[in-house]
């Protein structure tokens, strides 16, 4: 395995975690929105990752296969004074669990940081290897 392949693998992991962080941010930004029907309510989005076999795609070890919407139903809230309320007085909140999203954000952030550490360690090892011949 080439020493530079490490950078490709860690880079693909950083890219995947960046997409994960962006979907969490989108979910959290829409967590308090409401709609007049369950069909119009925001649905939480989640990335689906796919591991790639070595050599399947140049330099990538993981990629985002798709971003799927959550299947949990929208929460109906009785707010007859809300201008978005339906004829029965209900508005529909998204299926976003803020606690789960915060845990997902922390996990994605730490995974991203781990990939940065892998890249830094690989860089330091390559530089140390180059310095061997200088002495």
What phi and psi values does residue 75 have, to the nearest 5 degrees? -90, 125
1 or 98: which leads in pLDDT: 98
pLDDT band, residue 56 (cuts 50/70/90): low
pLDDT band, residue 129 (cuts 50/70/90): confident
Domain boundaries, the chain: 9-31+44-71+96-132
Please determine, for residue 79, whether its predicted confidence score (pLDDT) is greater than 80: yes
As a whole number of angstroms, the longest Cα–Cα distance in the chain is 82
Q: Could you tell me the two tokens for 30?
A: 């829409």
pTM, full prediction:
0.84
Element (H, E) at 49: strand 45-51
CA–CA dist 30, 21 (Å, integer): 14
């Amino acid at each position: 395995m080439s020493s530079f392949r490490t950078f490709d693998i860690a880079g693909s992991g950083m890219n995947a975690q960046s997409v994960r962080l962006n979907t969490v941010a989108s979910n959290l930004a829409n967590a308090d929105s409401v709609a007049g029907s369950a069909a119009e309510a925001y649905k939480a989005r989640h990335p689906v990752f796919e591991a790639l076999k070595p050599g399947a795609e140049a330099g990538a070890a993981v990629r985002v296969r798709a971003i799927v919407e959550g299947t949990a139903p929208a929460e109906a809230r009785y707010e007859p004074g809300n201008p978005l309320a339906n004829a029965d007085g209900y508005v529909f909140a998204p299926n976003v669990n803020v606690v789960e999203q915060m845990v997902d954000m922390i996990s994605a952030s730490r995974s991203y940081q781990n990939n940065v550490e892998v890249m830094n360690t690989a860089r330091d090892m390559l530089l140390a290897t180059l310095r061997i011949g200088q002495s």
